[in-house]
Amino acid sequence: MTSKLFSELGLSPELIKAVDKLGYEQASPIQAAAIPVLMTGKDVVGQSMTGSGKTAAFGIPAVEKVDPNLRAVQVLILCPTRELAIQVSEEIHKLAFFKRGINCLPIYGGQSYERQFFGLKQGAQIVIGTPGRLMDHMRRGTLRLETIKMVILDEADVMLNMGFREDIETILKDAPKERQTVFFSATMPKPIRDLIEKYSRSPESVKIQAKELTVPTVDQVYYEVDRRYKMDLLTRLIDIYDLKLGIVFCNTKRMVDDLVDHLEAAGYQADRLHGDMTQAMRDRVMNKFRKSGLEFLVATDIAARGIDVDDVEVVFNYDLPYDPEDYVHRIGRTGRAGRSGRAISLVPFRELFQIRNIERFTNMRIQRGKIPTENEVAEARENVFTDKLKALLTSGEFTKQDRLVERLVEEGFNHTDIVSALIHQLQSGDAAKPAPKTEDYDRPPQRDERPGRFDDRGGRGDYRDDRRAPRFDDRREERPRQFEERAPREGVRFADPKKAKVAPWKAAATTTPKIVTPPPAKKVVTAKPAAVAVVELAPEIAAVTPSPVETPVEAVKTYSDEEILASVKTPESKLFIKPKAAPVAPAKPKESRGTPAGQTRLWMSLGAEQGIAPIDVVNSVAGETGLPGKVVGKVDVRERHAFVDVTSEHANSIIAKLNRSQIKGQKVKVKLA
C-alpha cells in the first residue's frame, strides 16, 4: 500500500498542526486506509499488527467528529486494560491539543471514582475506558450514552479473551443504533466476526496483508535450549548484544517473580509487572520503565497490554505463548514507529511445534539462532568495556592519578602491569560463577541429570526450580527399601533376632517381649498384604528382653503345603486374605445445569463485597495457570461469592492452582459448583 501524507487525508488545520508537532511525516498503511473511510461515517473493521499506528488511525477521526460546543460524551473507546486506556488517552489528548473545548477522560479500575465523577460532570466528550468500570458508571447513572456518535473497540480480540463479551454487548445495545461502530484488532477470530456481524452496519474492511501481520522491522529469532539453561542463555544474549531496554515475557506470575530475582542477583536492573500488583505499583513500575530507570521489565501477557515505549530494543519470549495471537501482541512491543527491534524466543525441544504454529499463523519464517560461545560472550564484554574506556579517555572527565602511578613505577612496576591490574580489579565483579559450556545447552539431559516430570514443561511447570536434583535419584539414595522397615507381625518368627527389624516409629509402643520356649523347626505361614509368606524357623530363638514373669507361648500350628493352598481359597479359613479393593478413580467434574457444553461451573469464595470483578477472576486464572483467558467463560459475581464457567478439561487444574493463590490479596477457595 502506497504511503500518504497527512495533508492528503482531508484533515482540519488543527489536526495537521498537532500531527506535525508529534513528528509524524506520513501516514502508516493502516492510517492511510482507515482515516478516509472513518471520516465518511461508515462502520469500519481494521486489522493490522500491534504497533502499526492503530491509535492514531481511529483517534484522528474521533477528534474531528467531536462537537466542542456539546458538553456530553460523544465518542466511547473501549480498551482491554488500564495501561492501554491510559496510553490511548494520552495519544488522543495530544491529537486534540489545538482543538479548543475538547476534553478526553480515561476511566479504569484502580482509580478513585470521585475523579472520574468530576471529569464526567465537567462534560468530557471522549471517554476511554475498560468495559468493567464503564459498566459501573452506567449502572450508577453517571455515564449516559444518548449522545454517543462513535463507539471504538481497540484490541477487540483481547477483550473477548479476557471475558468482556457480555459487558461489550451491553454497552453496544445501550448506545444509539445510528452510531458509527469501529472494530480494531490484530487478529480476527470467529467470536470477533460474530460480534461484528451482530452490531455493525455494512462495515468496510481495512486489512493489512497477512505477510505484514508482524512488524517487518523486527528481527525474529529463536534458540533451542534445555529449560535448565534458559537463565544462563538469557544473560549471555543480553551481554553479547549489549541490550539496555527490553521486555521479558513469562506465562505465569510465579515465573515472573523468580526471573526478576535471578536477574537482580546477576546485577541487572529488572522489575515485574503482573496481575497481583496494585494499580499504584504498576504505575510506578511503568513510569520507571518509560524513563529508562529499568533495563528489563518482566511481565505476563495480560499485564503487558498497552505498554507503549518507543525505545524498547528487544522482546524476550522466556516462555512461548500458548496462542500464536499472543506472540503477535508480544513482539509488537518493539520495532515501533519505524524503529528496528529484536524478538528472541527461548524454546525447549518439546515446544518446537509451537514455533511452527506461529510461523503458519504469521506467514513468516523465524530464524534459528546459534548459541554464542563463551569466547564470543567474553569478547563482546571486552568490546563494551573498551568502548566505555575510550569514551571516558576522550571526554577527559576523570581525575588524574599521576602521583600514584609514579609511586608504583618507582617501586618497580611497569605501566602495562599497572593498567592490567586496574582493569582486572574493575572486571573482577563480573566473574561471579563460570557459565555452563556451550555444548551443554544443546545436548540432551543425561540419565543422572534428567529433569523431573514437570521440569521440561513450559508455563505451568515454570515455578519449579530447574536446578534441583533429579526427582527419582534423590529418593533412591535417601530412602531404604520399604519392605525392610516393616515391623514383624504377631506370630512371625525370625531365624536371627537381629534381623527382626522394627520400624522406629513403632519401637516406643512395643510391649515387653515374652520369653518363649523354641518349638521344633517347622514351616509357618503368616499373612502379608496381598500375599502369603513362608518363613523358615531356626532351631532356637533367644530371649529378646528378660521379663519378671515367664509366660509360655501357645504352640504354633503347622500346615502342609496342600492345606495352605486349599485354605487360602475359602473365606471361612483363618488364613484367607481379603484382596485389596481396587483404587477408585477420581470423579470427573460434572457439568452444571445451565453451563454450556464443554464447560464446568466453579464456585469461588470471594464476591462483590470483597471488591472482586470478572476481570480479576480472568486475570487470576490466566496468571496462575498460564492458560489463555479464553478458557474462562461466564463470570457471575454475587455479593459474597462468584460462579465461573471454565473449560472442563482444565477445571481440575484451575481448582488446584487457585486454591493456593490470592485474588486482590485475599485467599480464595474454589470448588465445583
Q: For 448-485, what is each residue's pLDDT tens digit?
A: 444 443 343 344 334 334 444 333 333 334 444 443 44
Q: Calculate mean pLDDT across residues 32-55.
A: 84
User: What is the Cα Rg of the chain in Å?
Assistant: 35
85 neighbors 91 (Cβ within 8 angstroms): no
Q: Calculate mean pLDDT across residues 179-191.
A: 87
**pLDDT over 70 at 530, yes or no:** no
494 HSE (CA, 13 A, CB side): 14
Strands 642-647 and 632-637: antiparallel
| Torsion angles phi and psi, residue 626, rounded to 5 | 80, 5
d(CA 366, CA 351): 14
Residue-range domain boundaries for the chain: 6-208, 218-372, 375-430, 445-475, 599-672
Return the HEC string of 64-107: HHCCCCCCCCCEEEECCCHHHHHHHHHHHHHHCCCCCCCCEEEE
| Torsion angles phi and psi, residue 207, rounded to 5 | -130, 130
Task: Give the architecture-level CATH label for domain 6-208.
Answer: 3-Layer(aba) Sandwich (3.40)
Do 6-208 and 599-672 agree at the fold level? no
Strands 599-604 and 670-672: antiparallel
d(CA 526, CA 577): 10
Question: What was the pLDDT predicted at 545?
Answer: 43
Q: What is the longest distance spanned by two Cα atoms in the chain?
A: 116
pLDDT digits (tens, 9 = 90+) for 279-337: 788 888 888 888 888 889 999 877 666 677 778 889 999 998 877 878 888 888 887 76
Question: What was the pLDDT predicted at 338?
Answer: 65
Q: Calculate mean pLDDT across residues 247-273.
A: 89
Q: Calculate mean pLDDT across residues 171-176.
A: 92
C-alpha cell at 466: 530447574
Residue 501 or residue 43, greater confidence: 43
**pLDDT over 70 at 438, yes or no:** no
Return the HEC string of 365-376: CCEECCCCCHHH
**pLDDT over 50 at 501, yes or no:** no
Distance set, CA 444 to CA 227, 455, 649, 651 (Å) = 11, 14, 31, 33
Question: What was the pLDDT predicted at 352?
Answer: 86
C-alpha cell at 243: 541490550
Question: What was the pLDDT predicted at 602?
Answer: 92
**pLDDT over 70 at 69, yes or no:** yes
d(CA 385, CA 228): 29
Distance set, CA 591 to CA 162, 256, 645 (Å) = 22, 34, 10
What is the percent of the chain where pLDDT is above 90?
A: 21
User: 7-21, 217-231, 432-446: which range is least confident on average?
Assistant: 432-446
C-alpha cell at 163: 471475558
pLDDT digits (tens, 9 = 90+) for 570-620: 555 555 555 555 555 554 554 445 677 888 999 999 998 888 888 888 888
What is the percent of the chain where pLDDT is above 70?
A: 71
Residue 376 or residue 32, greater confidence: 32
Residue 13 or residue 419, greater confidence: 13
Is 599-672 a CATH 3.30.70.330 domain? yes
**pLDDT over 80 at 160, yes or no:** yes
Residue 260 or residue 187, greater confidence: 260
Q: Calculate mean pLDDT across residues 397-423.
A: 78
d(CA 47, CA 166): 22
649 neighbors 588 (Cβ within 8 angstroms): no
**pLDDT over 50 at 494, yes or no:** no
223 neighbors 368 (Cβ within 8 angstroms): yes
Handedness of CA 81, 115, 103, 201 (dihedral sign): positive
Return the bridge partners of 532, or none.
527
pLDDT digits (tens, 9 = 90+) for 100-132: 889 999 998 878 888 899 999 989 999 999 998
Average pLDDT along the chain: 75
d(CA 390, CA 47): 48
Q: What is the dihedral of CA 103, 106, 107, 112, to 10 degrees?
A: -90
**pLDDT over 90 at 445, yes or no:** no
C-alpha cell at 445: 539431559
Return the HEC string of 285-333: HHHHHHCCCCCEEEECCCCCCCCCCCCCCEEEECCCCCCHHHHHHHHCC
pLDDT digits (tens, 9 = 90+) for 513-527: 445 455 555 444 444
Amino acid identity, residue 618? V
248 neighbors 318 (Cβ within 8 angstroms): yes
Question: What was the pLDDT predicted at 304?
Answer: 65
d(CA 592, CA 124): 44
Question: What was the pLDDT predicted at 586?
Answer: 52
Residue 556 or residue 5, greater confidence: 5
Task: Enumerate helices (H) and strands (E) in the chain, giving the number of each.
Answer: 24, 22
Q: Which of 19-23, 90-94, 434-438, 465-469 holds the top average pLDDT?
A: 90-94
pLDDT digits (tens, 9 = 90+) for 214-251: 566 788 999 999 888 898 899 889 888 888 889 999 98
C-alpha cell at 104: 478526553
Question: What was the pLDDT predicted at 5?
Answer: 80
Beta strand ranges found along 577-661 (DSSP E): 599-604, 632-637, 642-647
**pLDDT over 70 at 152, yes or no:** yes
**Domain 218-372 has what CATH class?**
alpha beta
Q: Calculate mean pLDDT across residues 398-425.
A: 78
